[in-house]
Each structure stands twice: as C-alpha cells, then as structure tokens.
Amino acid sequence: MYKIIKEREEGARQEVIELLRKQMAVEGELVGLYEKTAGEINSTAVRHLLHMIQLDSRKHIDICQTVIEVLQGEEVLKQEKEELLEGLLRHVELEKESIERANKILKNVWIRETKGLSDLIKKLRNDEREHHKALQKLAGRPFFREDPFEFGMFIDKEARRESRIGRREG
C-alpha cells in the first residue's frame, strides 16, 4: 500500500513540475512580447506600465522555479532562517514606512483626483503589503511536505508547535 501511495504521489509531483515548466515558458514569452511592444511605443508612461507587467511575469517565472526546486528536494530555510528573521525586523520597519508614505501620497489632490495615478499608487501600496505578508509567511512556515508514514515527523511537528507557543508566551 505504501509503495502505491508513493508512486501516485511521485506521479502528481512530476505532473505539477511539468505544468510549472509550461507556465514558465508562457511567462518567458510574455516577457519578450512586453519588451518588444515597449520598444515600439513612444510614450514613456506606457513603456513604464509595460515594464511593470513584464516584471510581474519575471516574478511568476521565479515563483514557478522556486516551487520546482522545493518539489525536487531543495531544502529551504534550514540554515538561513535565523538570518532571515534578523533581516525581517528591518524589512517590517521599511514596509511600514512605505505603506504610510503611499497612504499620504493617495491623499494628495493630484493623485486623489486622477484615477489612473491613484490606481498606480494603490498598486504600489498593495505590493508593499504583499511583500510584508510573504516575508512573514516565509519566516514562519515550513517548505516541505510532511510524510505521514515517518514517525519522526510527529515528534518534530510537536517540537515546532511547542517552540511557537513558547515564543508567544515569552
């Protein structure tokens, strides 16, 4: 039974890796199209908008590649976690300042009364919020799938739970 479950899981893992690789190819094609189109347009504002979208497609490639690497067994945050937690404090401070600044910008009459500009600043603010959330999740969540057939997993899971509780109480 264990062997059948493992084979099925391996098939699912390979399937998602293939889907992610296809998505990476599509995103790569989009990057090229945005770059080509931006080169053909005279408006610098439109070129900047296309560049922003192009950066999102590049980010999507990185997301897919990260998921593939983790699925292929790369360990995430075993040694680097302490360094990330130290850097997170500065990150939180900078993100808070960025969000407050964006809120102040949104109150400016030129931005408030120009929907397109207001939407851009809201996107900036929302991106900053998402960055903050993503780093918090990165610092607090495991990036491995727990194997229900591994007895040590239960001990480790309990130790992680106790560690989190201890941090909250302290």
Give 120-138 as a DSSP string: HHHHHHHHHHHHHHHHHHH
Q: Given pLDDT bands bounded at 50, 70 and 90, which one contains residue 154?
A: very low
Q: Is the pLDDT of residue 124 over 70?
A: yes
Q: Is 156 within a domain?
A: no
Count structural domains, the chain.
2
Of the ranges 40-44, 74-78, 84-88, 134-138, the best mean pLDDT one: 40-44
67 and 104 together in one domain: no
Contact in structure between 68 and 17 (CB atoms under 8 Å): yes
- 154 belongs to a structural domain: no
pLDDT over 60 (residue 148)? no
Range in 6-15, 135-144, 158-167 with the lowest mean pLDDT = 158-167
70 & 112 share domain: no
- Please report whether residue 158 resides in a domain: no
In this structure, the answer to whether residues 2 and 65 fall within a common structural domain is yes
Q: Which domain holds residue 57?
A: 1-74
Q: Is residue 108 part of a domain?
A: yes
Together in a domain, 23 and 54 = yes
Give percent of the chain above pLDDT 90. 51
Closest alpha carbon to 34 in 48, 21, 23: 48
Residues 15 and 63 in one domain: yes
**What does the mean pLDDT of the chain come to?**
82
Which segment, 2-6, 7-11, 12-16, is predicted with the most confidence on average? 12-16
Q: Which two tokens stand for residue 135?
A: 């780093």
Per-residue pLDDT, 107: 97
> What pLDDT sits at residue 34?
96
Is the pLDDT confidence value at 103 over 90?
A: yes
Specify whether 4 is located in the same domain as 70: yes
Bigger pLDDT: 109 or 138?
109
Average pLDDT over residues 1-26: 90
Our CA angle for 100, 52, 97, nearest 5°, is 15
Nearest of 76, 72, 55, 77 to residue 18 by alpha carbon: 72
The answer as to whether 18 is a domain residue is yes
Q: If pLDDT is split at 50, 70 and 90, which confidence band does 76 have?
A: low
Output the pLDDT for position 9.
87
Same domain, 50 and 7: yes
Q: Residue 142: helix, strand or coil by DSSP?
A: coil
2 and 49 within one domain: yes
Q: Is the pLDDT of residue 68 over 70?
A: yes
Name residue, tokens 């479950």.
5
Residue 3 shares a structural domain with residue 55: yes
